[in-house]
Structure 1
Amino acid sequence: MQLSNYLFFTTTCEQALDFYTQCGLGEMTEVSRYGLNGIAPPNAEMHGKVMHARFEGPGVLFYASDNHDAEPMRGSAHILMLDERGQTETLFALMGQGGKVSTPLAVQPWGDFYGKLTDRFGVQWMFNCTDRTAL
């Protein structure tokens, strides 16, 4: 058994996955689109949008799609467990572009370097770095 997250966007799935690729998280390794290969779109606006996608990179695996009836993302977050402070700072800055930082990166009471943000697509991300040598 493996638990994986599934992100639902309304019409910006491909843009979000392209953004995550540019940030260095990984890449879309599988995609099916509405209106192709017999997959009927629920409405005309959804034609060509992502019906199902797999996104993966080193230590990263999740799925995503566009859904005409998707609800705004809330109550859940991806947590990226990192072991290098520099990598954490770089990724946090990249993924925060156009988003909103709710917890700036800082050493937390549990001793790790941690921060939280909501990206420009409404997805919450937590960054936890266990590298204490650089603190």
Structure 2
Amino acid sequence: MAFKHGKNTVFKIDDSGGGSLTDVSQYIDNVSGLPGEKALAEVTAFGDSGTRNIPGLFNATVEVSGHWDPTASTGPDAIFNALFEEETSTASFEYGPGGSTTGAVKYSGECWVSNYTITSAVAEKVSFSASIQVDGVVTRGTFA
């Protein structure tokens, strides 16, 4: 069996300038939502003994959260906030749940940051969370 530990997870997203992926793994402690879901359209008809469906559109929302860092141009606040405010173009992303070594599984695609939230509590670290809506479909491949 080829089990993997979550500590090796890699998440990269376009920087605020666009065009180059920035590894933000050092700030993130949770990624969920990939590869996504596929809508099913019901096509059950009279005489069927059970519900029947046909596949429809693909949809994925990626949730990331972690440690907030306001460092200009490299911290998650600079990157995710800029992408949250972006209104004209999508950002690329790469997600490697088992790391980014050659041959490791990679999920990638284009996305919009649809939500960016900073949370602070008196007895806790300052955290952030972001919702990333995939634009189109997610591609499953491997790191080269």
Per residue, is there more helix in 1 or in 2? Answer: 1
Global fold match (TM > 0.5): no
Q: Which has the larger radius of gyration?
A: 2
TM score, norm. by length of structure 1: 0.33
Query: Using CA pairs below 8 Å that are at least 6 residues apart, which structure has the higher relative contact order?
Result: 2
TM score, norm. by length of structure 2: 0.31
Per residue, is there more strand in 1 or in 2? Answer: 2
